[in-house]
Each structure stands twice: as structure tokens, then as C-alpha cells.
Structure 1
Amino acid sequence: MELNIAGIVDDSIVDGDGCRLTVFVQGCHRRCHGCQNPETQPMEGGRRIDTADILAKVKANPLLAGVTFSGGEPFLQPAPLAALARAVHALGLDVWSYSGFTLDELLERAEKDKATAALLNEIDVLVDGPYEEAERDLTLHFRGSRNQRVIDMNATRKTKKIQLLYED
């Protein structure tokens, strides 16, 4: 399957726990003021890449703890990312995703869209909510503003109640 991406960082230590391969998808409608990745916002642009090529990069790096989807907005390309996430899990690695949508918004979208539901079910950790510059705080773990949450999705699915990974 193909994705439209802005780029890939092969060995990030700022996009989740451990060494990660981070996929920056192209396209986001939110246009958050102060966005860290404004070049990923336009829906046009970026480059097409097959998820098999991304998976090959993952397999080539034995130091990876997992893969992170960032952007842009990953949930605008849920089908190929869900397939990639399943393949990453098959390698024993975890999957993090950033989203400008809140978990409640994603759950609502998932009720109408199977691809969104599939991607949401594959995410181990979700950093949710739009970036809000007025809430900016550089001391937070893996998020840019206080309104965003780092959600342990496995624990959340198990307890049916939002479980935060970091509550700083």
C-alpha cells in the first residue's frame, strides 16, 4: 500500500520511548498556529512511498523499539498506516501515533470508518489533541502543549477508561 509522506527519520529519540523510526505523513487540515511541522500541512506535495519500503527500513535497524506516525495528520491516511502498524507489531515492535484529533473524535470517526477503527486498534500509544501554542510547555514528555495527552491505548482498551502513560 502507498502513503503520501513528508519524510522519515530513521532513528528518532524524541517521538516516543526508545529509538524509533518516525514517519511524517503529508497533509493536515488543522493548521495549528505554531505547528512544529508546517511543511507537512498541505494536502498536495510530499512523496509517495510503499509501506513495504518503510517496513524494510524498520527491519534494517535492530536498535528500534518501534515506529511513530506523525505529520501532518496520520488519521487522514488510516488504511496504509493500519497495515504498516500490523506488520510492525508482527516484528515485536510498538507503534505510537500523534494526532490532532482527540481520542473521542477518533472513536467517533472509527464508528463510521473501518480504516480509522483498524488504525486506532493498532496504536499502542496515542498522543492526542491539537497543538495549542498558549499551552506550550517544553518540559512535557513527548508532547508540545498541556492540552495534549500521551495515552496508553493498550491499557485504555483493557480498562475502557483513558489511561495516561505520562501525567507530567
Structure 2
Amino acid sequence: MNYDRYYTCDVVNGEGLRVTLFVTGCTHACPGCYNESIWNRRSGKPFTDEVRQRLLEECRDHDGLSLSGGDPLLPANRPAIAELCRLFKQQYPDKDIWLWTGYLFEEVRHLEMLRDVDVLIDGRYLQDQPTTQPWRGSDNQRLIRLASHR
């Protein structure tokens, strides 16, 4: 998996103070997407063990981890994202993980890795459906608190 960037002081992508990782790779190709530059999963930098460890250390004094992109649930990204989520929850069991994906929850609900995700924002970005709802790019997207689906 590759990543484009991560923020270590983010208050926009989820509740509280967060560390936010933007992975590369997305096949949804939503018109008007503000992250079109990271659709190619080969762009960006390799998400190495060292990067993962540094990211986890940054989470120590934060409320949680946010995963965006691209699409963290792109099949090629899933193994690395699953491992990151597993390690995060081992290290910080009382902190939360938020994940944005263009897939619908119904399409990915079977993924074991979602056991470690607390909040899922699902659905493709639709530029003709603007929203005023927090943490969503378009009105069709849902904020799903996954604990209620377990």
C-alpha cells in the first residue's frame, strides 16, 4: 500500500484531535473528487513498517485515527489497513478509528477488519448532492457507528 500524506493535528476528519492518514488508490473515480490526484494506487510513498510505527506513536496524545484517501478499502489496501487497525486497537483500545470509503456498508460489512473500525462514512462522493452534515462530502454518504452493527 502507498500513502500520500498524514496529518498529526487534525480536527476536521472526525471527532476530537486526530491523526489522519490518506492512502492512495481509488477506483470509484467520483466526478468532482477533491483527492483525484491520489486515485492511482502506485502514486505516493510506500507505507512501510517504519511509517506505520511512527503513525501509531503520533496517536498517543490524540483522540483517534482517521483513514481516508483514495480509498482505504480498495482491495489492494485492505491487508495494510487491517494490520494498522489491529495494531492501533491493541495499543489504544479506548481510542476510535474513523474510516471513509466509497463502498457502501452493505458491500463491505463482511470484512473482518471492520471489527476494529468504530465509525464508517460510506458511499461515493456525489457532487450534485451537497451536504451540511459533518464529516461527509455529499448528502448520500452515511455516518455509521459500527458498534451498533456488531
TM-score (norm 1): 0.80
1:27 CA displacement: 0.6
Q: Could you say if the C-alpha distance between residues 51 and 128 of structure 1 is closer, same or farther in structure 2, counting changes exceeding 3 Å?
A: farther
1:68-107 to structure 2, matched below 5 A, reads: 68-76=66-74, 77-90=77-90, 91-92=92-93, 93-107=95-109
Q: How many Å apart are 1:51 and its aligned residue?
A: 4.3
C-alpha distance in structure 2 between counterparts of 1:133 and 1:51, whole Å: 36
CA contact (8 A) 2:24 2:38 kept: yes
Higher helix share: 1
Gaps of 5+ in 1: 111-116, 158-168
Higher relative contact order structure (alpha carbons within 8 Å, sequence separation ≥ 6) = 2
Specify the alignment match of 1:122 in structure 2.
116
| 1:152-163 equivalences in 2 (<5 Å) | 152-157=145-150
Unaligned runs of 5+ in 2: none
1:30 offset after TM fit, Å? Answer: 0.8
Deviation at 1:53, TM superposition (A): 2.5
- Pick closer, same or farther for the CA change 1:127–1:50 going to 2, 3 Å: same
- 1:30 equivalent to 2:32? Answer no
With over 3 angstroms needed to count, the CA separation of the structure-2 counterparts of 1:61 and 1:105, relative to structure 1, is: closer
CA offsets, 1:52-79, max 9 Å, x none?
Answer: 5333333245431111110001012111
Which runs of structure 2 are paired with 1:11-50 in the superposition (5 Å)? Answer: 11-50=9-48
Aligned to 1:54: 52
Percentage of identical aligned residues: 30
Per the normalisation by structure 2, the TM-score is 0.89
1:145 is matched with which residue?
A: 138
- Aligned amino acid, residue 144 of structure 1: G
Root mean square deviation, CA, Å: 1.5
Cα distance per residue 1:79-134 (max 9 Å; x no partner):
11111111111223211100000001113xx3xxxxxx232222110000000001
Distance 1:118 1:55 in 2: 22
Separation (CA, whole Å) in 1 of partners of 2:55 and 2:22 = 14
